[in-house]
Amino acid sequence: MSNTLALGSKRIGYEVRQYFRQGDTVFFTFLFPLVMLTIFSTAFSETSFGLDEDGNDVTAAAFYLPAMLAAGVLLSGLQNMAVDIAVEKSDGTLKRLGGSPLPVFSYFMGKIGQVFVTGLAQAAAILLLAATVFQVPLPDEPGQWLTFAWVFTLGVVTSAILGIALSAIPRSGKSATAVIIPITLVLQFISGVYLSFTQLPEWLQNIASVFPLKWMAQGMRAVFLPENFEVLERGESWDLPGVALVTLLWLVVGLIASRLTFRWIRKDS
């Protein structure tokens, strides 16, 4: 087991190094939320998204910051994993690993570690951009950051595991982005990332509430939006227990699906 863990941590370094050497993943996964935050903050720079407790305007950048953090978790986790593993399946990477004595557990440790490291770097970059360029005030209470820590960690791990499960769907590496990106894009639109969640029709909110992104975005809003914004949420509450519950549920679903579907190679195809 210690060997499995040692190999797993080697895999993390190997995976992270590869990640940053691939221009397309760096752009579409890593930089994408940063680009979107910049676009929204610039496009709506004259618009007020409401007032905080002290009567200050909430800027577009402040309003979109939690949404982009949630989108980053989805992209770094689900989209990145699903595409990455589907490509590795079809380009022979998995076949080669499957013929080597690398434990499957170490492989997944490397993948989830890669998502965690790149997701964390991405979140840091988003926060830095928001705080410096767009002057978004960041929370100063440790409790808020604690909430951020668990929402982020739970979100990124769940997202990565769901990505592993979804990697079974694309039939080839070439079709992987075409299959996966529409899923993540639709989720982002209905889960309150680009559009304000409570302004969506009731039935669409109900649909989105089944999926974890809505809850991750809500958890991020609880951290970064002023307290008086809580009344704008469904049920006038951040509902953090709900965030934890639904995300954990999806984590379990993802673990079971990954366990059932993952193979080094499709035997006899």
Partner 1 sequence: MTTEPIVSVRDLRKNYGSVTALDGVSFDIERGETFALLGPNGAGKSTTIEILEGYRDRSGGEALVLGTDPSRGGLAWKARLGIVLQSSGESGAVTVREQLSHFASFYPNPRSVDETIAAVGLEAKAKTLIRNLSGGQRRRVDVALGVIGRPELLFLDEPTTGFDPEARHQFWDLVRSLKSDGTTILLTTHYLDEAAQLSDRAGVIAGGTLIDIGAIDEIGGAEARTPVVRWFEGAAREERTTEPGAFVASLQARLGTEVPGLEVIRPSLEDVYLGLVSHEVSASLDLVSTSSTTGSAS
CB of 263 to partner 1, least distance (A): 11
Q: Out of 83, 102, 117, 176, name the contact with partner 1 by CB under 8 A.
A: 102
Question: Among residues 88 and 239, whose Cβ is nearest to partner 1?
Answer: 88
In angstroms, the CA 60 to CA 258 distance is: 38
| Interface region with partner 1, contact rule CB under 8 A, candidates 15-23, 149-157, 221-229, 230-238 | 15-23
Contact present, 138 and 127 (Cβ < 8 Å): yes
The reply on whether position 183 binds partner 1 by CB under 8 A is no
Please report, as a single letter, which amino acid is at residue 216: M
The reply on whether position 269 binds partner 1 by CB under 8 A is yes
The reply on whether position 54 binds partner 1 by CB under 8 A is no
The reply on whether position 177 binds partner 1 by CB under 8 A is no
Q: Out of 91, 182, 259, 261, name the contact with partner 1 by CB under 8 A.
A: 91
CB of 208 to partner 1, least distance (A): 34
CB of 87 to partner 1, least distance (A): 7
The reply on whether position 18 binds partner 1 by CB under 8 A is yes
The reply on whether position 268 binds partner 1 by CB under 8 A is yes
Number of helices (H), then strands (E), in the chain: 12, 0
CB of 101 to partner 1, least distance (A): 4
Contact present, 81 and 183 (Cβ < 8 Å): no
CA atoms within 13 A on the CB side of 244: 7
The reply on whether position 22 binds partner 1 by CB under 8 A is yes
CB of 113 to partner 1, least distance (A): 14
In angstroms, the CA 269 to CA 31 distance is: 37
In angstroms, the CA 208 to CA 246 distance is: 12
CB of 52 to partner 1, least distance (A): 45
Question: Among residues 17 and 259, whose Cβ is nearest to partner 1?
Answer: 17
In angstroms, the CA 170 to CA 87 distance is: 9
Token pair 């990954």 is found at 258
DSSP secondary structure string, 203-225? HHHHHHTTSHHHHHHHHHHHHHS
Look at residues 261, 18, 269, 34 and name the one whose alpha carbon lies nearest to residue 163: 261
Q: Out of 31, 34, 93, 171, name the contact with partner 1 by CB under 8 A.
A: 93
Contact present, 115 and 159 (Cβ < 8 Å): yes
Q: Out of 5, 39, 42, 92, name the contact with partner 1 by CB under 8 A.
A: 92
Q: Out of 16, 74, 87, 151, name the contact with partner 1 by CB under 8 A.
A: 87
**Burial track 78-114 (b if 16+ CB lie within 10 A, e otherwise):** bbbbbbbbbbbbbeeebeebeeeebbeebbbbbbbbb
The reply on whether position 182 binds partner 1 by CB under 8 A is no
Q: Out of 14, 49, 150, 194, name the contact with partner 1 by CB under 8 A.
A: 14
Tell me which residues touch partner 1 (CB under 8 A): 7, 10, 14, 17-18, 21-22, 87-88, 91-93, 95-96, 98-103, 265, 267-269
